[in-house]
Amino acid sequence: MIRFLIERLFQAAVVLIVVALLAFVMFRFAGDPVAQMVSLDTTAEDRAALREAMGLNNSLPVQFGQFVLRAVQGDFGLSYQMGQPVATLLAERLPASIELSLVAFGIALIVGIPMGVYSGLYPESWLSRAFLILSLAGISLPTFFIGIMLILIFGVELNLFPTFGRGETVDLGWWTTGLLTGSGWHSIILPACTLGLFQMTFIMRLVRAEILDVMRTDYIKFARARGIAKGRINYGHALKNTLVPVLTIAGLQLGSIIAFGIVTESVFQWPGIGLLFIQAISTVDIPVMSTYLLLVALIFVSINLIVDLLYLLVDPRLRVRSR
């Protein structure tokens, strides 16, 4: 178990180093960092001094080492555009993105799994067919369209929910949360539904396919022959056996909605990292972009690690191999 954890942590570190190299290359070679920072009338001597101060005259491996060292300490340099430390910018924005993603993901799981189980158990019923048609719509409609339609119907016409922003937030010192205020919850519902709809249909279809498979296995037939109650079979024996593939996909999906909820964040003007990233691209704010790259890698690597550990929790057969 410990061995397994150390192995995985080591792999995660390798992935992060590689991504750091990419981020560094982008930072160092996509344009001249000095030229980005100074104004046109800065003298050549001042530029050279700045270059020396930033360590840009050192050899590349040394520069990369310094880059990694600073990154580990949370120092990602200053944003060209806003002049603030990138770390601060991201730390301000990250809670909004993570809260939105988790709520969206929660909706996807809570609605998607029972729908998937139901339509897997009764593939012929009209309700299952309705779920499938709905899910096809969920997969094929673009996110921005769903977002705009939700704004139009629930925000503008019915005037039930706010159409932009996070509402009131509470500052916990290291984390600003909208989940402790009524208006925060009120504001998160529409964007979370928009972001979660695609995930929900995805999870539903996956669970459905897995349940269809599992219900054909001998151990389910045997459980039925032993007279085990239907609910125990469907939500115990069957659902648990579908979890390993569902966890894999769900983990990757969670990573991608945290990192790439850009469209939803723009439609709802949600102050998350996606919106920050869009602004960084339009202003060629290289430090923000390269830090974003690192952050995304970190999110995916951590989620994968958690998913791997969850596998062990779910499937005892994997525990033996990992020992």
Partner 1 sequence: MSLLAIKNLTVEYPSRKSTFTAVRDVTLSVERGEILGLVGESGAGKSTIGTAVMGLLDAPGRVAGGEILIDGQDARSIANLRGARVSMIFQDPLTSLNPLYTVAQQLTETIRTHRRMTRAEAHDEAVSLLDQVGIADAETRITQYPHQFSGGMRQRVVIALALCSQPDLIIADEPTTALDVSVQAQILDLIRDLAVSRGVGVILVTHDMGVIAQTADRVAVMYHGALVEEGKTAQIIHDPQHPYTQSLLAAVPRGERKLDRFPSLTYQPDGAPAPQEMTLTDDWLRSKGKDENQGTGPLVQVRGLGMRFLTRNAILPKNRSYIDAVKDLNFDINRGEVLGLVGESGSGKSTVARMIAGIHAPDTGSITFDGQDMAKIASSHERQALRRQIQMIFQDPYSSLNPRMRVRDIVAEPIHHNRLSETASETSRIVGDLLEVVGLGAAAGAKFPHEFSGGQRQRISIARALATRPRFLICDEPTSALDVSIQAQILNLLKDLRDALDLTILFISHDLPVVRQMCDRVAVMRNGQLCELAETEALFEAPRDPYTRELISLMPSL
Q: Which residues bind partner 1 (CB under 8 A)?
A: 217-219, 221-229, 232, 237, 240-241, 314-317, 320, 323
Q: Which residues, in sequence order, are CB contacts of 218 under 8 Å at separation 6+? A: none
By C-beta, is 44 or 226 nearer to partner 1?
226
By C-beta, is 41 or 218 nearer to partner 1?
218
Please choose, from the candidates 255, 237, 245, the residue with its C-alpha nearest in 3D space to the C-alpha of residue 206: 245
By C-beta, is 83 or 227 nearer to partner 1?
227
- As to burial, measured by CB atoms within 10 angstroms (0-12 exposed, 13-18 middle, 19+ buried), residue 142 is exposed
By C-beta, is 212 or 314 nearer to partner 1?
314
By C-beta, is 136 or 319 nearer to partner 1?
319
The pair of three-digit structure tokens given for residue 100, joined into one six-digit string? 């939105």
The pair of three-digit structure tokens given for residue 118, joined into one six-digit string? 């139901």
**Rounded-to-integer distance, Cα 127 and Cα 44, Å:** 73
The pair of three-digit structure tokens given for residue 281, joined into one six-digit string? 């691209």
By C-beta, is 157 or 218 nearer to partner 1?
218
**Rounded-to-integer distance, Cα 214 and Cα 283, Å:** 51
Bridge partners of 85?
78
The pair of three-digit structure tokens given for residue 178, joined into one six-digit string? 């909208």
Distance of CA 73 to the CA centre of its chain: 23
**Rounded-to-integer distance, Cα 300 and Cα 266, Å:** 22
Closest distance of CB 226 from partner 1, Å: 5
